C-alpha cells in the first residue's frame, strides 16, 4: 500500500535512476487498464499478451535511453504506445491475413505437406529397388522397351526407331513386360505399395 502513495512521476524518475522495483510497481499499478484497453481492441488473449509485452519493452527502452519527457503523464503515454502497437498489429494482419484454425473449416484439409516422412521415403525407396530387380528378370527385349518408356521417358515412336522394330511391336513388348511383371508380383506375393 505504501507504493500507492508514490506518484507515477516519482516512480519513473526512480526507475531512470536505477531502481528496478519502481518498474514493477508501475506495471502492477497499470497492468489491468492497459491490458483491458488492448483486449478491447483486439479481442484475443494471445495477441493482447504480445502487444502488452511489446508496449512495456518500448517503455523500458525509452526510459533507459533517457528519451522520456512527459512528466506526470505516464499512463496516457503508455496507452498511446499500446494504441500505436495495436494499429501496427492490424496493419500487419491486413497485409498478411492469418488463418486461425479454430473454426469448423480446417485449412489443413485443403493444404497438405506433400513431402514424404522418413518412414514413407524408406518404403518408397524399397519399392523402387524391388521393382528394379523384377525388371532385371524380364526378357531383354521387353526390359529395353519398359526401361526406355518408363525411366527414359521416350515415346513409342522413339523406342521403335531406337530398337529398329515397329511401333506396334514396341507396344506389344511393353504390354507383355507389364503382364510378366504382374505375374511375378502375384506369384511371389510382393507388395509394392506405399
Partner 1 sequence: MAKLYSECPQKKNNLTPKEETIDFLLNYSKALSVIHCNKLKFEALLN
Examine residue 109 and tell whether it contacts partner 1 (CB under 8 A).
Answer: no
| 37-66 residues near partner 1, rule: CB under 8 A | 39, 48-49, 52-53, 56-57, 60-61, 64-66
Q: Is residue 3 a contact point for partner 1 (CB under 8 A)?
A: no
**Cβ–Cβ < 8 Å for 25, 3:** yes
Whose Cβ is closer to partner 1: residue 20's or residue 119's? 20
Regarding 182 and contact with partner 1 (CB under 8 A), the answer is no
Taking the complex as a whole, the smallest distance from the CB of residue 150 to partner 1 amounts, in Å, to: 58
Instruction: List for the chain the helix, strand, coil content (%; round to 5).
Output: 75, 0, 25
Identified binder of partner 1 from the candidate list 23, 154, 178, 190, rule CB under 8 A = 23
Task: Identify the CA nearest to 4 among candidates 35, 25, 20.
Answer: 25
Q: DSSP letters of 113-155?
A: --S--HHHHHHHHHHHHHHHHHHHTS-HHHHHHHIIIIIS---
Binders of partner 1 in range 72-91 (CB under 8 A): none
CA-CA-CA-CA dihedral for 78, 83, 84, 87, to nearest 10? 160
Q: Which residues contact partner 1 by CB under 8 A?
A: 20, 23-24, 27-28, 31-32, 35-36, 39, 48-49, 52-53, 56-57, 60-61, 64-66
Amino acid at each position: 500500500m505504501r507504493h500507492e502513495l508514490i506518484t507515477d512521476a516519482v516512480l519513473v524518475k526512480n526507475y531512470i535512476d536505477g531502481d528496478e522495483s519502481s518498474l514493477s510497481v508501475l506495471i502492477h499499478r497499470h497492468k489491468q487498464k492497459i491490458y483491458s484497453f488492448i483486449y478491447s481492441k483486439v479481442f484475443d488473449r494471445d495477441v493482447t499478451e504480445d502487444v502488452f509485452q511489446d508496449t512495456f519493452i518500448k517503455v523500458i527502452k525509452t526510459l533507459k535511453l533517457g528519451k522520456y519527457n512527459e512528466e506526470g503523464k505516464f499512463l496516457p503515454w503508455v496507452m498511446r504506445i499500446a494504441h500505436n502497437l495495436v494499429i501496427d498489429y492490424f496493419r500487419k494482419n491486413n497485409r498478411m491475413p492469418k488463418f486461425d484454425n479454430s473454426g469448423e473449416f480446417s485449412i489443413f484439409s485443403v493444404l497438405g505437406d506433400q513431402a514424404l516422412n522418413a518412414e514413407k521415403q524408406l518404403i518408397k525407396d524399397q519399392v523402387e529397388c524391388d521393382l528394379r530387380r523384377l525388371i532385371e528378370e524380364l526378357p531383354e527385349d521387353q526390359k529395353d522397351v519398359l526401361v526406355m518408356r518408363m525411366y527414359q521417358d521416350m515415346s513409342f515412336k522413339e523406342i521403335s526407331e531406337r530398337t529398329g522394330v515397329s511401333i506396334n511391336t514396341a507396344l506389344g513388348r511393353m504390354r507383355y513386360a507389364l503382364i510378366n511383371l504382374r505375374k511375378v508380383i502375384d506369384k511371389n506375393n510382393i507388395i509394392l505399395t506405399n
